[in-house]
Amino acid sequence: MTKTAAGAIEYLTFSDVGGVPSAIDQLNKAGVLTVGLAGDSTNSLYDLDLGSVPVALIVGGEEKGLATLTRKRCAAVVAIPQLGKISSLNAGVAVSIAAFEVARQRRLHPEI
């Protein structure tokens, strides 16, 4: 049962996994681009081609971010470039921005 206000949950696919690192391995083998979000990465989210391949966004905990093994298994670990004095985003905001970027790029590649 889901909340009525959640809306989009009716259109998303979810899966319970035994462990995040092994799930990332399976996604990589299936041709899914696994993208870890980490504020300390020197690579930018905006430099990735997210519009022409299946993408899984991997987000860590609010306090510690991505676990070491999780980070190592991701095909790419990127940050969301920011201006100003705030150096990090909370997990919910970060994944929302990244999901929007995936959707934005997919508009350029409707075949996915």
Average pLDDT, rounded, for the chain: 87
In a domain, 80, yes or no: yes
Closest to 24 (Cα-Cα) out of 15, 34, 37:
34
Predicted TM-score (pTM) of this structure? 0.84
Task: Look at strands 33-37 and 76-78 and give their pairing.
Answer: parallel
- The mean pLDDT value for 77-97 works out to 87
Residue 99, domain CATH:
3.40.1280.10
- The mean pLDDT value for 7-19 works out to 75
Structural domains in the chain (count): 1
- pLDDT at position 64: 82
Closest to 100 (Cα-Cα) out of 38, 46, 42, 43:
46
Q: What is the pLDDT of residues 40-56, one digit of tens each?
A: 899 999 999 999 899 99
Question: Residue 44 sits in which domain range?
Answer: 17-106
Q: pLDDT at residue 101 above 70?
A: yes
